[in-house]
Amino acid sequence: ADILRLWVSSEDYRDDIKVWGEILKRLAEAYRKIRNTVRYMLGNISDFSPAKDMVAVADMPEIDQWAISRFELVKRRVMKAYESFEFHTVFHTLYHFCTVTMSAFYLDILKDRLYTELDSSPARRSAQTVLYEILDGMIRLMAPVLTFTAAEVWNHLPADAGREENIFLASFPPLKDGNLNKELNTTWERLQDVRAEITKVLEVARQDKIIGHPLEAEVWLAVPADLADFLADKWQTLETICIVSKLHRVETAPKGAMASAEIPGLAILVKSASSKKCERCWMRSKTVGENSDHPTICGRCSSVIAQIEPAGE
């Protein structure tokens, strides 16, 4: 039923509405992607309490603030589309946000924090706050066109005394002007452009059997002057969002580096990381084996385990 609703909402009713097997097949795949995104977000806030675990936006890492800011733009676009009866815009906006902004970018980067940090660490609680805020708001926006899915998810959200009992009696999410950050959006658009170029070279390295997973990669980056200025204080962020074990900045393009067609002056070289693989976070790190009690994991993971073990004794 929700797939049929999605089909109706995806079509511009001002034109003839088209339907045949291939269209419904594509819509079924679109619905599956949206549902999987929602399911992943829901599964990672199962131990989150909105009453006691929420993190203020100002205290969040920059990437979390960016995600919140992006969702504010989505809210405005979707609500305006509803007011104009442009239901196809509602569908396309939510679909793009779920599959591109969240699944292909933010959630992919977030896995490391969600899976490897201490359960109650500020970094993990910040990530969960973003997931909860976005999921709660997104389900409210989806309810008119994905009714059964919205109702199902609503009943499994973490308990919140201030939330309406029934999704169909709930209001759309409130607009929060303070969460909008145009400067941050611009910064992260540029970071994503650089990441996209690195991802292309990582994919070539994967096809050539140099690496299997991006975490097995060590990357050397030669950048033009203007980009170097932009990245001066963002190298660690870029390494994190590229999901590689190590990112090196070099002044000149190393031998064998691939030149970017989209960013003049950018050259990228990918090699298999020489360090051992941490069995817990999968990062390649020189600190693997330094802790004799946990010889197969890295220093970061060892410190997390050290905080968990006393409670389990």
Length of the chain: 313
Res. 109: pLDDT tops 60: yes
Tokens of 50: 């909105």
Task: Please report which confidence band the pLDDT of residue 78 belongs to, taking 50, 70 and 90 as the band edges.
Answer: very high
pLDDT digits (tens, 9 = 90+) for 293-304: 999 999 999 999
Rounded mean pLDDT, 125-143: 97
pLDDT for residue 221: 96
Tell me the mean pLDDT in the region 235-244: 95
The pLDDT, as a whole number, for residue 312 is 46
Confidence class for position 1, pLDDT limits 50, 70, 90? low
CB contact at 8 A, 271 and 210: yes
* 36 Cβ neighbours under 8 A, 6+ residues apart: 103
- pLDDT (tens digit per residue) in 178-207: 999 999 999 999 999 999 999 999 999 999
Q: For position 12, what pLDDT does the model report?
A: 63
Q: In what order do the strands lie in the sheet with 246-250?
A: 246-250, 217-222, 267-272, 258-259
If one counts every other C-beta atom within 10 angstroms of the C-beta of residue 196, the result is 14
C-alpha separations of 51 from 55, 132, 136, 176 in Å: 10, 12, 14, 19
Q: Is 257 in contact with 222 (CB distance < 8 Å)? A: yes
As a whole number, mean pLDDT of residues 281-285 equals 94
Place of tokens 């500020």: 122
Residue-wise burial string across 22-56, b where 16 or more C-beta atoms lie within 10 A, e elsewhere:
eeeeebeebbeebbebbebbbebbeebebeebebe
Closest CA to 40 of 170, 153, 125: 153
Is the model's pTM score more than 0.85? yes
Where would I find the beta strands (DSSP E) of 128-245?
Answer: 217-222
pLDDT digits (tens, 9 = 90+) for 140-168: 999 998 999 999 999 999 999 889 999 99
pLDDT at 21: 74
Q: How far is CA 46 from CA 71, 100, 170, 292, in A?
A: 21, 24, 22, 34
C-alpha to C-alpha distance for 298 and 294, rounded to whole angstroms = 8
Answer for the pair 211, 243: CB distance below 8 angstroms, yes or no: no
> What pLDDT, on the 0 to 100 scale, is given for residue 92?
92
Cβ atoms of residues 140 and 163 within 8 Å: no
